[in-house]
Chain A
Amino acid sequence: MIDFALLFFLVVCAVAAIQMRDLLSSIMLLGIYSFIMAVVWTRLNAVDVAFTEASVGAGITTILLIAALSRTRRMETKQCVPPANLLIYGTVILLTSAVLLYGTLDMPTYGDPGAPAHSHVAPRYLEKSFEEVGVPNVVTAVLASYRGYDTLGETTVIFGAGICVILLLRRKI
């Protein structure tokens, strides 16, 4: 029941954030969206992801977006879309959604133990992570040991993003 309420609020937040012309309110709504998403992750028992979503999405992203907003206009300029274009956009969106939903009919049921995602390497990680890596948290064991090279790539991406912003925005090197 609470999952339906969370999903409803997610959709409401997303639609409102897009429709708002006041960009500061839009940023606040995106922060609320991240917070509700963190609750959804917690409902799915993924606390590490929830922690990351809450700290990054609801925390830092909101701050950085407001900082970026300080350099531009606060109100979006009014856009008039001709109705014929609206009809085309709506048809394309409906068609794409229909195709994607049809594709999900083939997916295994949620939580099916025989699903490919749960039967390839996941049992090995869950059973052997403590004796092979020595760390109680399986998420950290996968992130830092079994898939440690990917985490190195992620960290390099974050560093690269910082370098790009420095190159673009810094006046005096």
Chain B
Amino acid sequence: MSERSAYEHVIKRAMTKLLVPFIQLFAFYVIAHGDIGPGGGFQGGVILGAGFILYVITFGMNEGRKRISRITSDLLSAAGVLVYATVGFVCMAAGGHYLEYAALPFSSPQLAGHLAIFVIELGVGITVAGVMITLYFLIGRELK
């Protein structure tokens, strides 16, 4: 290993260690503020997935797999859809149609809509992030 490539590794690793927490925080910000500004579940999920992919690119596949095991990334992909579908069934259990937020037992239909939309955006974000991470782990290849 030449000295130049050792320096490159140090720069990449230092910057990644600094950036990844902020990327993940920004992703959650985008998901949570999807109802006030631009953004929402899909965008936030993609940014969250991109943050993890940056970590995997810089530190290698094995190191990335230690952070997110195969089971975790698979379950993440499925959990978001499950959360979304469950919200619909909860609305049905509360007496309304499937995904009718106004039927939920909160103080007003607006509050019910607001909270239910937050939960389903979270579900969408989790699924998108999980699928992006799974795809990168499967398609990507280590440079030797």
Do A and B pair up? The answer is yes
Tell me the total A-B contact number using a CB cutoff of 8 A.
142
Judged by a CB distance under 8 angstroms, whether B109 is at the interface is yes
Q: Is there contact, CB below 8 Å, between A166 and B74?
A: yes
- B128, closest chain A residue (CB): A158
Which residues of A117-173 have CB atoms within 8 Å of chain B's CB atoms? 131-137, 139-141, 143-145, 148-149, 151-152, 154-156, 158-159, 161-163, 165-166, 169-170
| Chain A interface size, under 10 / 10 to 19 / 20 to 34 / 35 or more | 35 or more
CA distance A141 to B143 in the complex (A): 45
Identify whether the interface residues of B are mostly helix, strand, loop, or mixed.
helix
Q: Is there contact, CB below 8 Å, between A133 and B113?
A: yes
Question: Which residues of B have CB within 8 Å of A68?
Answer: 139
With contact pairs A71-B141, A144-B120, A151-B120 given, residues A131 and B134 touching in the complex (Cβ less than 8 Å)? no
Judged by a CB distance under 8 angstroms, whether B10 is at the interface is no
CA distance A149 to B39 in the complex (A): 19
Question: Which residues of B have CB within 8 Å of A145?
Answer: 101, 113, 117
Question: Which residues of A have CB within 8 Å of B101?
Answer: 133, 145
Question: Which residues of B have CB within 8 Å of A71?
Answer: 139, 141
Judged by a CB distance under 8 angstroms, whether A24 is at the interface is no
Question: Which residues of B have CB within 8 Å of A170?
Answer: 138
A-B contact pairs, 20 of them (CB 8 A): A51-B39, A52-B42, A59-B47, A60-B50, A67-B141, A71-B139, A133-B110, A137-B34, A140-B34, A145-B113, A148-B120, A151-B41, A152-B81, A152-B120, A158-B127, A159-B80, A159-B131, A162-B135, A165-B138, A169-B138
